Structure 1
């Protein structure tokens, strides 16, 4: 709660200062790149978003914001030439995602609107053009690098060029499997939660405010937004949730239904093609000691059965018994959360869940642990797990034999960065760029400053108008 309080204080401070400055300062052109301009107000808006996202106030970040704006606009201009675009639905989804995050951090919609001095709808309208341009720029960047690849020879050459003093050291890594036994509640144990959600639905049907009840009683992150989930398609939610949401009309309320997460009812706010905007209330059944004991007994029986087999098949056991959907179909093996794209099962021990790391540290390669009770850090859910230590690699200096996949990724990133840098170097030389003197001392913008200034076009001249007397189409 203390961290949240400090965050809200920071937001209030920044927005208060920004609002006060609006009345006495002049908006101006912070930079020109080709046919596009970046206004000082654009930089300030993104800085406000930076603060709302939970970061500490730091005015030097505005240099990086302007650099990102210049990069984005240069890519977006090329995207027009190359016919690269994004769909409106993609933009809407990203706007909604960011807004839900902002509201959650600010403590709800009312608090966010108070801090911003404008409605959420107004703020979304202000964000939308920049978010659309950002998505277009991302797609253009991907197009520039789509043919970049590395061969084994590229990887070797990359590694050979690293000086001996700069060869990275990799921490100890392990491959860890898990079989998860989640406590399962009986119908009778779930009844308290079912009755509570049923009562809440009746209160909504009798006229009580849905959003208020969601804020008070709902048990997930959307409660701070009055249960508002924004727009979603058929693939984003649990199948039971989707089935109810897509058969209702705007304003209608669903019956109570159950998903793997708990008991819900929802109300559709708007239907837009194959997307639905809805809000919900969820009550999560409380795990009982009896259900935990049942999970423990099941885990213990599986553990003993595996010990009885000289060469147990951990992959098959995980697929059959585990309740964790993310690992059971991967042979029970955990994936490196920081490198999911490569689907590597090698995880640095300092990146493991501390509870898992504590158990693994006592194990030998090829062995399984006794069932242990674990608590998920984010959800507080309890479950029993059997862990399997498949392999371990001690800390060492990087080498091609042990670390080819890591070095291949590093070589690929290096080639991608050089490809992008070369593209920008060429485009910057061909494009008119003007940066306001306020930002010309920014280290992040050194490469954007023209070597010699050509005659400044009329459209690039810095103009100022009072905020009260001018409106800018952004």
Structure 2
């Protein structure tokens, strides 16, 4: 198998954006391949290759073979989706495009910078993306239809594991299951007033004629927008917290909002421009800092919860769900999830992947024990208190059915899915006219496609 070969990665390839070539002055425009009644242009491949380079990868002409392989796969799936009347709504296309553009804007340093890079407005680029995204989503749905309902029984998992070469079984390092309960200080209205007053003072400066951008650069506590005069660029309704969105979309260009509160602190904003369902704003933020009294209350609160949990008056999962302020974990009963495994959402996490603070907290714990509440600062800079629960710790070991059933089941399921997809593609390729440009005939990734192509041409 070549380093790029895998015909079942259409879901991965369709998640990328073909934006990196927007600045290219000379894009090759010729037919790279024909699949049934559809063509794949060389310019499409060059776009994806430019995206690959823009992500920091080294130049590798072989990667174009991989891209063409994925395009062939996508065309086959999309054609069958049309035959099977699989529908994709305009809303689904819009959501997908908006999600991509949010990511691209973050990577580019803001929407305005992205538009400069693209050399066109985002509205224009969204329309250019639409046909491609529509096809990609159809291909995704078709692939999901093909494998829907596939599952594995315990016997199939056992047989899959027994079929593996014992000498090549994976080796797993120490894995842990960890929970955390977090309490952030809650300020009273009186305690918050000093921060609101500061925001009102800055707003008054703007009202009295001081340049908004200058005030933002000097005093706004939003590190992402302050260097740009508070400018957040264009954004849709779903890209900001609800309080900010509600304020921004009811105002007219040039209007200055009153001071309002969100989870980030006290803001005021100015609408710079409206463009359909997008608005460009700039804002000034005053963050709410915990007071000594609020920290004392938070400490007393978490100490009380901790004592009840340790005394078995309240189980950890219920305590986390009821009281934890960590929105990412409280609805998992406080348990951290392995973010490298989005599909299975397992709670087993390699110890070397834990944040340093969590690793330190559980290092001396035995399974079933809790660390004492301690003050901490999260990634966003918020100060709070937390205690940690070590549910389990698995020693380093070679894969075994007893200890790693969930992982082996996942691998067995993926193997079954791959075999199903392989059968489907084999059947479709044999009955579909496929013609690939001669310059790709040396690609290892495309050998099977070329073989079917030669057979089809011989029959014709």
Same fold per superposition (TM over 0.5): yes
TM category (shorter chain) comes to: 0.7 to 0.9
1:253 and 1:265 in contact (8 A); partners too: yes
Which position in structure 2 is the counterpart of 1:432? 433
Which position in structure 2 is the counterpart of 1:383? 384
Shift of 1:351: 2.2
TM-score, normalised to structure 2's length?
Answer: 0.80
The change in CA–CA distance for 1:203 and 1:448 in structure 2 (over 3 A counts) is farther
Residues 388-419 of structure 1 show CA distances to partners (whole Å, capped at 9, x for unaligned) of: 11222212222222222221111111111111
Distance in 1 between residues matched to 2:180 and 2:455, nearest whole Å: 63
Shift of 1:356: 0.5
Match among 330, 333, 355 for residue 331 of structure 1: 333
Shift of 1:279: 4.7
Distance in 1 between residues matched to 2:241 and 2:174, nearest whole Å: 37
Residues 343-401 of structure 1 show CA distances to partners (whole Å, capped at 9, x for unaligned) of: 43222212222220122111112211122333334x23333210111222212222222
1:93 and 1:231 in contact (8 A); partners too: no
1:229 and 1:280 in contact (8 A); partners too: no
- 39-48 or 252-261, which deviates more: 252-261
2:172 and 2:396 in contact (8 A); partners too: yes
The alignment partner of 1:153 has SS state of: helix
Match among 38, 48, 56 for residue 40 of structure 2: 38
Gaps of 5+ in 1: 1-13, 457-474
Match among 154, 157, 168 for residue 155 of structure 1: 157
Distance in 2 between residues matched to 1:18 and 1:114, nearest whole Å: 13
Which position in structure 2 is the counterpart of 1:263? 266
Which position in structure 2 is the counterpart of 1:446? 447
The change in CA–CA distance for 1:289 and 1:264 in structure 2 (over 3 A counts) is closer
Shift of 1:161: 0.7
Which position in structure 2 is the counterpart of 1:18? 24
Which position in structure 2 is the counterpart of 1:406? 407
Which position in structure 1 is the counterpart of 2:302? 299
Gaps of 5+ in 2: 1-19
The change in CA–CA distance for 1:337 and 1:16 in structure 2 (over 3 A counts) is closer
Q: Structure 1 residue 106 and structure 2 residue 112: aligned?
A: no
Shift of 1:42: 1.2
What does 1:73-92 align with in structure 2 at a 5 Å threshold? 73-92=75-94
Distance in 1 between residues matched to 2:275 and 2:455, nearest whole Å: 53
Which position in structure 2 is the counterpart of 1:459? none
TM-score, normalised to structure 1's length?
Answer: 0.78
What does 1:273-352 align with in structure 2 at a 5 Å threshold? 279=281, 281=283, 283=285, 285-288=287-290, 290=292, 291-292=294-295, 294-304=297-307, 306-307=309-310, 309=311, 313-352=315-354
The change in CA–CA distance for 1:67 and 1:413 in structure 2 (over 3 A counts) is same
Which position in structure 2 is the counterpart of 1:461? none
1:250 and 1:270 in contact (8 A); partners too: no
1:190 and 1:285 in contact (8 A); partners too: no
Residues 110-136 of structure 1 show CA distances to partners (whole Å, capped at 9, x for unaligned) of: 443444444434333322221221111
Which position in structure 2 is the counterpart of 1:460? none
Residues 171-211 of structure 1 show CA distances to partners (whole Å, capped at 9, x for unaligned) of: 22212121102133444554455355556767888999999
Distance in 2 between residues matched to 1:287 and 1:243, nearest whole Å: 24
Shift of 1:277: 5.8
The change in CA–CA distance for 1:146 and 1:237 in structure 2 (over 3 A counts) is farther
Residues 70-95 of structure 1 show CA distances to partners (whole Å, capped at 9, x for unaligned) of: 11111111110011121112212222
2:21 and 2:47 in contact (8 A); partners too: no
1:220 and 1:282 in contact (8 A); partners too: no
Shift of 1:250: 6.7
Alpha-carbon RMSD: 3.6
Shift of 1:155: 0.8
1:173 and 1:348 in contact (8 A); partners too: yes
Residues 292-351 of structure 1 show CA distances to partners (whole Å, capped at 9, x for unaligned) of: 4553444345445555x2676223332343211232233322222223443432222122
Shift of 1:436: 1.8
What does 1:126-205 align with in structure 2 at a 5 Å threshold? 126-187=128-189, 190-191=192-193, 193-195=195-197, 197-198=199-200
Which position in structure 2 is the counterpart of 1:372? 374
The change in CA–CA distance for 1:448 and 1:455 in structure 2 (over 3 A counts) is closer
Distance in 2 between residues matched to 1:419 and 1:201, nearest whole Å: 62
The change in CA–CA distance for 1:286 and 1:442 in structure 2 (over 3 A counts) is farther
Distance in 2 between residues matched to 1:134 and 1:351, nearest whole Å: 33
Distance in 2 between residues matched to 1:49 and 1:150, nearest whole Å: 37
Match among 68, 71, 81 for residue 70 of structure 2: 68
Shift of 1:445: 2.1
Distance in 2 between residues matched to 1:264 and 1:146, nearest whole Å: 47
